[in-house]
Amino acid sequence: MNHTLQNTTSQTLLQLQTLLQQMSPERYRESLPVLSDSSVGKHVRHVLEFYQCLFNGLPGGLVDYDTRIRDLILETDISTAIVALEAVLKRIAQVAADQALRLQTTYGTHEAVVVPTTLYRELIYNLEHCIHHQALIRIGVQSLAQSHELPVTFGVAPSTVQHQQITCAP
């Protein structure tokens, strides 16, 4: 697998794992007004299920994010979420090569749209999707009374981090 993609994905997910290991179960599932009454757990579940849909679609070559399970246990039980996150990290480490896939979606209609894609393209999409949700999670965590140390790069796109390093260099 492309080592940059694999490393960036793993590092991003490990940041999320570190946060979850620091959070209390109550805070993980707490409804937060700043997140439109969503919770950190709901955002984590959403990210995990997109990765699960990708990996579940590999054997048949068809990925469909619309068919995710929306497993309430992932958004309410932090221990289950950590185990699922570890499983995703393991699957990412096992990716050896790119492969052709098809992506299916309905956009809320009854007619499916199917387009060609690849495993690497979908891994990039999932990484960007994860970073986006980590940015929202950051907002949620900052609204909590309990303090959590988040890396400055948590929820920030790698290209933004690189840009900031270049523009802020002495």
Whether 57 and 101 have beta carbons less than 8 Å apart is answered as: yes
Separation in Å, CA 69 to CA 24, 44, 45, 154: 24, 13, 10, 26
Distance CA 25, CA 138 (A): 17
Answering whether pTM is above 0.85, one says yes
Tens of pLDDT, residues 35-64: 999 999 999 999 999 999 999 999 999 999
Question: 1 pLDDT exceeds 80?
Answer: no
| Domain locations along the chain | 3-167
Question: 169 pLDDT exceeds 70?
Answer: no
Question: 145 pLDDT exceeds 70?
Answer: no
Q: Which of 84, 117, 85 is nearest to 103 (CA)?
A: 117
What is the pLDDT averaged over residues 101-125? 94
3 state DSSP class of 129: helix
CATH node for 3-167: 1.20.120
Whether 80 and 73 have beta carbons less than 8 Å apart is answered as: yes
Whether 146 and 24 have beta carbons less than 8 Å apart is answered as: yes
| Residue 7 binned pLDDT confidence (cut-offs 50, 70, 90) | very high
Distance CA 22, CA 25 (A): 10
| Residue 158 binned pLDDT confidence (cut-offs 50, 70, 90) | confident
Question: 139 pLDDT exceeds 90?
Answer: yes
What is the pLDDT averaged over residues 7-18? 97
